[in-house]
Structure 1
Amino acid sequence: MMRKKDVEKEKHILVTSMHLFSAKSVNQISMQEIADECGVSKGSLYMYFKSKEDLLLQILKYFFHNMEGQILVVESDHNLSNMEKFKKGLTIKMNHYVKNQEFYKLQSKDLSGYLNNIIYQYFREQNTIQLKWFKKYLIKIYGQKIELYAADGAFLLAAIIRHYMELIFWKHFSLNVDKIVDYALTQLEFIIKGMNEKSMSPIMNESLWSLYLEEDTTKKKHPLKLLNKMKHHLEQEGIPSEQKEEAKASINIIEQELTSIQPRKVILKGMLHNLATIDSLKEYHQILQESLMVDR
């Protein structure tokens, strides 16, 4: 089991390396330079990360995970409307990129060399997640009547935001993120309502949408949401108190692992094994296992 100081050291390496990658592209940095900057030996660095590419991937996962965590907090606020949640979520996303723009600017230049490898695929996956998130909220905000145009709306919103972000990244314009979000969503509202009023045929029908996203037929659920459902289910079912407490403890440990920098599969497998003993959780257990991609 990784001790607390090891987790902290790993986080230190990730954050320090991120600043180094903000000054130089990944191709210009050696593992020895990273080790020196982080104040660890090269051997110790390889104990945490097997290569520069692995380190860069874990940096991306760490910062995207933090951003997603902030958005989940907003989405769980029942006092906010769907539009307010969407605006706050977009603002969090844009501020994340603005805050870390030097890092993304430098590393984006190397993406052409990452075709077909794990880092390129990770960026692709994040783009897919974002487009699905856009589409989901457009339907939540405007209702089923615009569902026909939601995929096109997601593409348009992504394009609008990208062009404003380019002004900040590459032209060094000092733009207010809150104003960009309000303006982008206002533009999009006019476009979607206009398409709906004119009964236009969408470009991105379901077939093209699925083809673009390369969707799997398997519907994957976010593990943290599944864990919340499992906890709620435990309270509703007549499960013996001792068994219920053990299940809650296992769920809490899985949550802690998922919010750590690098979740340990051996811990996840052990906790999943504990939860498998509760018959009423079997359906959730199977979906959670698939979501975590942990073998039986």
Structure 2
Amino acid sequence: MGKKNSDKEKHILITAMKLFSSKSYNRTSMQEVADICGISKGSLYLYFKSKEDLLLNILQYYFQYMDDQIMRIEEDASLSTAEKFIKEFEIKLSHYIEHQEFYRLQGQELSGLADKNIYRYLHQQNIAEVKWVEHSLIKIYGNEMVPYASDGAFLLMGMTKQYMELIILKQFPLQVKKIVRFLMAQIDFMIKGLLDSKIEPLMNKNLWSLYLEEAEEEKVHPFELIKQMKNQLKTQSIPDALKAEAIQSLTIMEHELMNMQPRTVILKGMLHNLEQLQSLEETRLKLADSLLLHQMQQIPE
């Protein structure tokens, strides 16, 4: 943790986590955390500069605790790839059951936080979890699994979620080891069926790249980016002809986006027209990404 009194800091983190999860993060003050920990508010601020700093450290502490256990399994040369995955999967599920307060805390509405590192950190952890399953399945089943790895990850994680809810919410007496082995048997049937049938994966490269997008910038609608670019053009010293052409291209895009099914060829053509304006490059790239996401959301089932 990098601070002097690690035992005291650990006590604060665990206590604050339980308080945040039971009362909610937004309704808990630093004074309350200090009172429950038996220290002054001033002493608490010696460890953590703000409530958001405390929250980020709680998240980092618990994820690191689990990662340390996983690393010990990874370093065990006596285990096969499949055996490592099963043991690591068991560790993750056991951690989920043993530290329910921690996962309840993540499930809270943590909106309006000034420290964007918190959102970024949680996003990275969620992505890392899916990637871990995806890469593990590829290592177990080989390169022919690559096209189906993301679908396999979602299938396994979806089934796992249902059984975890039985244990957590319904108090079903299910053992983690039995759950993991049962799930691995089921996912084995599914994956072999997928590989034999050669059915087209649901998660293609475009959808997967959108899901894994790790940029933490808030998604902006294409209309907003078009408006930004028009405002940028007003303040830039560029030839009138180029400026008029750019504004016209942006206006055409606006009109096209109002259609129920915007035509990709039109949108791509207008984006291409904007490439000659280097001063708009950054916003243009954001617009291209935003348009891709917008179009994917318009695809009918």
TM, length-normalised to structure 1? 0.67
Match of 2:52 in 1: 53
Maintained 8 Å contact 2:31/2:41: yes
Whether 1:156 and 2:160 are equivalent positions in the alignment is no
Aligned-pair distance for 1:8?
2.7
Q: How many percent of aligned residue pairs carry the same amino acid?
A: 55
Match of 1:166 in 2: 165
Maintained 8 Å contact 1:23/1:103: no
The 2-side partners of 1:133 and 1:97 are apart by 16
Uncovered stretches (5+) of structure 2, i.e. residues with no partner? 216-301
Aligned-pair distance for 1:11?
1.9
The 1-side partners of 2:106 and 2:184 are apart by 29
Counterpart of 1:96, as a letter, is H
Match of 2:179 in 1: 180
Aligned-pair distance for 1:9?
2.1
Instruction: Say how many residue pairs are matched.
Output: 215
Give CA-to-partner distance per residue, 1:184-213, whole Å, 9 cap, x none: 111111111101111111111233212210
Counterpart of 2:49, as a letter, is K
Maintained 8 Å contact 1:135/1:154: yes
Maintained 8 Å contact 1:21/1:103: no
Aligned-pair distance for 1:158?
1.3
The 2-side partners of 1:115 and 1:155 are apart by 32
**Cα 1:145/1:127, change in 2 over 3 Å:** same
What value does the CA root-mean-square deviation take over the aligned residues? 2.3
**Cα 1:159/1:4, change in 2 over 3 Å:** closer
Alignment of 1:70-219 (within 5 A): 70-111=69-110, 117-215=116-214
Maintained 8 Å contact 2:90/2:177: yes
Maintained 8 Å contact 2:73/2:87: yes
Give the secondary structure class of the aligned counterpart of 2:135.
helix
Maintained 8 Å contact 2:52/2:113: no
Give the secondary structure class of the aligned counterpart of 1:44.
helix
Give CA-to-partner distance per residue, 1:8-42, whole Å, 9 cap, x none: 32222112222323432112221111011112210
Structure number with greater Rg is 2
Match of 1:25 in 2: 24
Uncovered stretches (5+) of structure 1, i.e. residues with no partner? 217-296
**Cα 1:95/1:115, change in 2 over 3 Å:** farther
TM, length-normalised to structure 2? 0.66
Aligned-pair distance for 1:149?
0.7
Aligned-pair distance for 1:81?
0.6
Give CA-to-partner distance per residue, 1:240-266, whole Å, 9 cap, x none: xxxxxxxxxxxxxxxxxxxxxxxxxxx
**Cα 1:5/1:121, change in 2 over 3 Å:** closer
Give CA-to-partner distance per residue, 1:68-89, whole Å, 9 cap, x none: 0110110110100111100111
Counterpart of 2:182, as a letter, is Y
Maintained 8 Å contact 1:24/1:106: no
Q: Which moved more, 1:115-124 or 1:59-68?
A: 115-124
Aligned-pair distance for 1:131?
0.7
The 1-side partners of 2:156 and 2:96 are apart by 16
Maintained 8 Å contact 1:128/1:213: yes
